[in-house]
Amino acid sequence: MRFTRARRLRRRSEFLRVQEGGARVTTRHLLILIAPRPDDTTTRFGVVASRKVGCAVQRNRAKRLLREVFRKNAASFPPGVDVVVIVRPGVDELACAELEAEVQAVLPLVRKRAGGKPAGGPEKPPRRGP
């Protein structure tokens, strides 16, 4: 399966929608954000690697590896969701197989958290009190 343009998050507004209203799954090297898309059944992916991860070579390698992991495991993700992965420092030391194992280990939790939470809405009800 190819990682086509239709399967990628490309606009800042798309990334922000997932980051503001998505469910979170955390691993040692990754922060995975998931937000449902009611208008489509395609699962789309986006990767964010800040300068905290390392130099441009390290950031690009991390993004390349993650895109490959998601390309191979796209069918394992729930349909109709946007997934944003924020890379944490230390991921540049992992091999592709180790990164894939880390993602596969949290896939059941990703599937569980992907259902039921609308994107863009408040994560918790507002607190009442003085």
As a whole number, mean pLDDT of residues 26-40 equals 88
Q: Is 84 helix (H, G, I), strand (E, B) or coil?
A: strand
Closest CA to 59 of 85, 98, 23, 24: 85
Closest CA to 25 of 95, 81, 80: 81
As a whole number, mean pLDDT of residues 46-54 equals 93
Please state the domain extents for the chain.
Answer: 7-110
CATH of domain 7-110: 3.30.230.10
Residue 55 pLDDT class (50, 70, 90 cuts): very high
- Residue 77 pLDDT greater than 80, yes or no: yes
What pLDDT is recorded for position 89? 92
Predicted structure pTM score: 0.80
- Range name among 36-50, 55-69, 103-117 with the lowest pLDDT average: 103-117
What ranges in the chain are assigned the alpha helix state H?
Answer: 12-21, 56-73, 96-114
What percentage of the chain reaches a pLDDT higher than 70?
Answer: 88
What percentage of the chain reaches a pLDDT higher than 90?
Answer: 44
